[in-house]
Every structure is written in C-alpha cells, then in structure tokens.
C-alpha cells in the first residue's frame, strides 16, 4: 500500500488516455484526489483541467506543485454531483471531457485519522468532506434493521444481520469511537479468512463508507451532471472499483446510449429517447499485466467511456440503474443520522 509520501499511481490512466485521444480543450477531473488524472490529462494535451474534490486535504497536498501548471489547472472544493454548475462558471462553452475515479483514494486510506481503513486504528470517521455525520454517528445511533440493510445492500455482506446485532449489543457497553473497535466486532462474527481471502471487515467498511458519503446518490447525480456539461463529442470516463458501482455505471451508459434492455410483460417497453452517449468502450476495460505489476490497487478497477452526442441531456430512470435503496438519511437541521 502506498504511503503518503509515495507517488500516487492513477489507475487505468494509460488505456483511458488512449481511448479518448486526442486530449484537447477543457477537461474536468471530478475526483481530484492526489491529482494523478489531472496531471496525466495536462501532459497528454488538455489546454485546461478543472479539478474538483470535496476533501479539502486534497488541495492542501497539491499546494507544492499546482503552481507548476499556472492557469491550466483550476481547483474547486465541491462534489462532482455539482460538476455542471462548476463547469458553467469556469467553462461555459462546455467540457471536452470528464473523468471520475470512484471510491476512496489511497491517500485517504493511508491516513489512520480519517477512519477509512480497517488495517489502521483511528477515529471511526470515514467522511470524505470532513463534515457532517460520521461513521461513528451511524454505528452508534442507527437501529439494528437499518445497520443490517446498509451492510447487505452497500457491502453485499451476507452476515449483515449477525454483525448488526453484535454492533447494537456492544454499543450498550461503550460507544464505538475507533476503527479497531468495529473491526473486532466484525471479526467475532465471521470465520477467520483463508489465505488469499479479503479481510473480514472489508465489506462492512465499504458499506459504511458508501452510506456516510452518499456515494450512490453522488454517483448518479454526477453522471447526469456530466451529461449536461459535456459538449457534443465530449468524453465521459468512469473508473469503478467494485461491482455495485460498475453495475450502476454500466446501466447508465446502456440507458443513455439507447442500449438498455427492452421491456417485458411486467414492464412494457417505453418510447426510446434519443441517445445522449455513444459507447467508446463496448465492454468494461480492466488492467493489463503491466499495470497490475506496477499497481496492485488496479486489480478490481473497470473503466467505461462514452462520447456525448448532440441530443439533449435527460435523466436516467433510477429504478433501472441497480441503485441500492437509500438507507442513510440525514436530518440536516441537527446534523445527525436518523
């Protein structure tokens, strides 16, 4: 695993740049992170890159080098679900490309105090924006049924009910404050992993992170925002790291390119909208052997790319995208999970 001082290796950057070549005009990197994609796009020929991140730490870490690019690199603290509004302010003529690298970044995983990693003890936080309700709020206050649903739908954890029951029982004695506490609870509920299997807490931590950061809500809103912001011919490139994300992205591109499955007797086929995207990658693109040797983190990554048509932007049907049901709502007046 990379350390904070190690160079960040952007996943699937080579096949991405090859598929969208030539790289010209204004691109938007909706998940700036350590800046790997932004640097790659600028080196490949982009005239300008707008980098968006909701984590203020990303821009603090970019401070030593961002000036090297002058006004070719514009950084904005925001969420990529708002990327069309950001683009309207900075590039009202429209974007030539958007890239989204989903999930948690390696720099966030490497910092124990952020609470994303089950391998490092730290506060049970997991907030990408460093604001709002944390994972500790969720784990300590959500009822058993809600916790079980989150673990099952967002983490595909088959032992979700057992783990949720154990969490609720353990928090009667002391509230959850650290990642170490949660890992210990999950490990008690699951068998010891065999060699080559993932850590027992992998799925639970994924599920809680997705819930805390509303990652699926952000994802679909971001895909639609990119559709609105791209010029005709502009490219949307999305890198995912787990099957739930990839399913949503795949179905979005199918639906918005006119390739969604037809209706059935239970769900009659509706009138097709004009395609908003042409598929650049017909299938998901994974890492080759060279990239896997350079960056094991790329193992589960999948890249999908679409090119914007001249058809008006629309809205994807949520029911057809495979989105898990929204399970974690926030009472914004109190800033607490409910």
Q: What is the pLDDT of residues 278-313, one digit of tens each?
A: 999 999 999 999 999 998 888 999 999 999 999 999
Nearest CA to 117 out of 1, 287, 260 is that of: 1
Burial of 46 (0-12, 13-18, 19+ CB in 10 A): buried
pLDDT reading at 2 higher than 50: no
Query: Which CATH number do you get for residue 158?
Result: 1.10.150.170
Does residue 267 lie within any of the structural domains?
yes
Whether 251 and 102 share a structural domain: yes
Q: How far apart are CA 122 and CA 127, in angstroms?
A: 13
Whether 233 and 315 share a structural domain: yes
pLDDT reading at 131 higher than 90: no
Domain stops at, among 160, 190, 213: 213
What are the tens digits of pLDDT across the range 152-180? 999 999 999 999 999 999 999 999 999 99
Whether 193 and 124 share a structural domain: yes
Asked if 88 and 17 count as a contact pair (C-beta separation under 8 A), the reply is no
Query: Which CATH number do you get for residue 234?
Result: 3.40.50.150
Domain count, the chain: 2
Does residue 2 lie within any of the structural domains?
no
Q: What is the DSSP letter of 49?
A: E
Known binding residues: 35-37, 53, 80, 101, 108
The whole-number average pLDDT for the span 316-329 is 72
Whether 307 and 231 share a structural domain: yes
Whether 231 and 99 share a structural domain: yes
Token representation of residue 171: 């928090």
Q: How far apart are CA 255 and CA 311, in angstroms?
A: 14
Whether 221 and 101 share a structural domain: yes
Which residues span the domain enclosing 126? 116-213
Q: What angle (nearest 5°) sits at the alpha carbon of residue 105, between those of residues 124 and 202?
A: 55
pLDDT greater at residue 99 or residue 335: 99
Whole-number CA gyration radius for the chain: 20
% of the chain exceeding 90 in pLDDT: 70
Please report the pLDDT score of residue 282 as a whole number: 93
Whether 301 and 221 share a structural domain: yes
Does residue 329 lie within any of the structural domains?
no
Does residue 338 lie within any of the structural domains?
no
Known binding residues for S-adenosyl-L-methionine: 35-37, 53, 80, 101, 108
Q: How far apart are CA 31 and CA 105, in angstroms?
A: 9
Residues recorded for the chain = 338
What are the tens digits of pLDDT across the range 178-192? 999 999 999 999 998
Q: How far apart are CA 52 and CA 335, in angstroms?
A: 24
Asked if 264 and 273 count as a contact pair (C-beta separation under 8 A), the reply is no
């Amino acid at each position: 695993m990379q350390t904070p001082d190690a160079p960040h290796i952007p996943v699937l950057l080579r096949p991405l740049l090859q598929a969208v070549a030539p790289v010209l005009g204004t691109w938007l990197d909706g998940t700036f992170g350590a800046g790997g994609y932004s640097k790659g796009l600028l080196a490949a020929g982009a005239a300008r890159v707008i980098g968006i991140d909701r984590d203020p730490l990303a821009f603090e870490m970019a401070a030593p080098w961002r000036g090297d690019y002058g006004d070719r690199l514009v950084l904005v603290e925001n969420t990529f679900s708002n990327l069309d509004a950001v683009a309207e302010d900075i590039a009202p003529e429209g974007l030539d490309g958007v890239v989204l690298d989903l999930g948690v970044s390696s720099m966030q995983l490497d910092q124990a105090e952020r609470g994303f990693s089950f391998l490092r003890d730290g506060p049970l936080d997991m907030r990408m924006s460093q604001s709002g309700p944390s994972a500790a709020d969720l784990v300590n206050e959500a009822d058993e049924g809600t916790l079980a649903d989150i673990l099952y739908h967002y983490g595909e954890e088959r032992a979700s009910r057992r783990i949720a029951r154990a969490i609720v029982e353990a928090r009667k004695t002391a509230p959850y404050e650290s990642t170490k506490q949660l890992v210990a609870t999950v490990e008690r509920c699951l068998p010891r992993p065999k060699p080559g299997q993932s850590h027992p807490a992998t799925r639970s931590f994924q599920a809680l992170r997705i819930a805390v950061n509303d990652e699926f809500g952000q994802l679909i809103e971001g895909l639609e925002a990119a559709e609105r912001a791209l010029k005709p011919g502009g490219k949307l490139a999305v890198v995912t790291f787990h099957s739930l994300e990839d399913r949503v992205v795949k179905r979005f591109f199918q639906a918005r390119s006119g390739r969604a499955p037809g209706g059935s007797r239970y769900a009659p086929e509706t009138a097709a909208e004009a395609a908003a995207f042409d598929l650049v990658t017909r299938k998901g693109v994974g890492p080759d052997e060279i990239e896997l040797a350079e960056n094991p983190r790329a193992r589960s990554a999948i890249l999908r790319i679409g090119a914007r048509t001249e058809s008006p932007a629309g809205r994807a049907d949520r029911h057809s995208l495979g989105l898990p049901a929204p399970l974690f709502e926030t009472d914004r007046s109190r800033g607490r999970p409910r």
